[in-house]
Amino acid sequence: MTVELCGIALEHPVINASGTFDAIAARRVFGAELIERFPFAAFVSKTVTLAPRQGNPPPRLWETGSGLINSIGLPTKGLEGYLGEDLPELAELPVPLIVNVMGFTPAEVGELIRAFADRPEVTALELNVSCPNVETGLVMGADPRELSALLERVRPLTDKPLIVKLSPNATDVPAVARAAERAGASAVSLINTLRGMALHPRSGAPWLGGGGGGVSGPAVRSVALAQVYAVAEAVEIPVIGMGGVQRGQDALDLLRAGATLVAVGTENFRDPAAASRITAELSALHGNSAPELT
């Protein structure tokens, strides 16, 4: 089931969704077996920000009937910590590394992209644009003009493939995707989590430490399918589809909707080997004839 994304040859079309698989911790637990039987065709790191972040206060998770609401709040070691501690370990993974970055101003995004632009360990960059630009208050990935302005500034900073991870919390996601394509994105990925919240069952106060959170898992699968379908019709660049993938059939649906790759997210928390099972199921469904996938 080999597949190509922006010139990167991959063994199969299943990767991880950012922030849902800690490869460094998994290697501590599973050792060499993780490297020998790595479940993903490429590894996407958790979002890296310029400065270290604590993330949101607990509680950070709420389980819904069919998924999760998370208010993790992007805790990170910051760029320096990532470069010094995580990157050397992630570079040992047996698959291409995609680093996911997020900045709160275009200048911050530029600094992050510059930091990875010439790193040989990094195959591609994924730009998480689901946060507000603190200078304008607009969510960078929810507004086509905001996103165009950002990409026009940062796209020239690297020759590496730049994947723009779109926010599903936008009025017109295909319009944002088209803006990304016009401004030089190499690919788009979607969906990120949908805004949601839960209330404490007795007090009625917001349950999550961050107030609200992001909904993911099977609950968002049909939304993901609709958005991937609409975006794949709107752009020529490759689309990476994700949202609620639990089985080979879910992955096949996203591929049939126009995705080139599929990412597994929340399902990794239930079963760290889920992606291997999903890839095997996909292969069986598909009779091992990759060209029909895209």
Instruction: Please identify which residue in 74, 83, 230, 290 interacts with ligand FMN, judged by CB under 6 A.
Output: 74
Binding mask 49-68 for ligand FMN (x = CB under 6 A): -------------------x
Nearer to ligand FMN, 47 or 133 (CB): 47
Binding mask 134-153 for ligand FMN (x = CB under 6 A): --------------------
Stretch that binds ligand FMN, among 86-94, 132-140, 195-203, 263-271 (CB under 6 A): 263-271
- Backbone φ and ψ of 106, nearest 5°: -55, -35
Q: Is the peptide bond before 191 cis (omega within 30 degrees of 0)?
A: yes
**Residue in 131, 149, 175, 197 annotated catalytic:** 131
Name residues contacting ligand FMN, limited to 94-123 (CB under 6 A). 100
Asked if 47 touches ligand FMN (CB under 6 A), the answer is yes
Cβ atoms of 125 and 113 closer than 8 Å: yes
Asked if 128 touches ligand FMN (CB under 6 A), the answer is yes
Cβ atoms of 163 and 240 closer than 8 Å: yes
Which DSSP string corresponds to 172-183?
-HHHHHHHHHHT
Asked if 266 touches ligand FMN (CB under 6 A), the answer is yes
Q: CA 74 to CA 101: how far, in whole Å?
A: 11
Token couple for 66: 């069919």
131 assigned to active site:
yes
Asked if 46 touches ligand FMN (CB under 6 A), the answer is yes
Asked if 17 touches ligand FMN (CB under 6 A), the answer is yes
Q: CA 41 to CA 118: how far, in whole Å?
A: 22
Token couple for 120: 């040989």
Asked if 165 touches ligand FMN (CB under 6 A), the answer is yes
Asked if 167 touches ligand FMN (CB under 6 A), the answer is no
Instruction: Please identify which residue in 39, 141, 243, 258 interacts with ligand FMN, judged by CB under 6 A.
Output: 243
Cα–Cα distances (Å) from 117 to 66, 111, 151, 179, in that order, read: 39, 10, 15, 22
Among 7, 3, 9, 19, smallest CA distance to 186 is for 7
Q: CA 116 to CA 83: how far, in whole Å?
A: 9
Asked if 248 touches ligand FMN (CB under 6 A), the answer is no
Nearer to ligand FMN, 26 or 292 (CB): 26
Q: Tell me the Cα Rg of the chain.
A: 18
Q: Which residues contact 200 (CB under 8 A, 6 or more apart)?
A: 206, 207
Q: Which residues bind ligand FMN (CB under 6 A)?
A: 17-20, 46-47, 68, 70, 72, 74, 100, 128, 165, 191-193, 216-217, 220, 242-245, 264-266
Catalytic annotation, residues: 131
